[in-house]
Amino acid sequence: MDVLLENKWTILVCLEVLAWTSTFFLLYARYGLKSTFWFKVATVLFAVTGVIPQVLMGILNFISTKKVDLFTLIIVVLIIYGFTIGKKHVKRLDAWAQEKFSKQTT
């Protein structure tokens, strides 16, 4: 557990990169591959690399420090972003991907 807390910033950045990568894969699976199987795989990858581990890291950090520090605050901000403004950004990204992949098939 100490290793997680010592490397929490690196882990957070890696998780965020993986979450965005899985988001792009999700869109590619949906519109490029037109595969429900790979779309489901990408959805699971997003959950496993995005929200769930970030929340767990924030809880682990809070339990360890017994206070809301910058790391915990960043996690909370990322989660709030994801459930508010981030939804709009993902919808725009979804529309862009749909348009991009529909042009390739015609």
Hey, what are 78's tokens? 């990322």
Residue from 49, 52, 6 nearest 24 by CA: 49
Maximum Cα–Cα distance across the chain: 57
Domain boundaries, the chain: 2-105
How far, in Å, CA of 76 to CA of 58, rounded? Answer: 8
Instruction: State the chain's mean pLDDT as an integer.
Output: 90
pLDDT tens for 22-65 read 989 999 999 999 999 999 999 998 888 888 899 999 999 999 99
Cβ atoms of residues 60 and 5 within 8 Å? yes
- The pTM for the full model equals 0.80
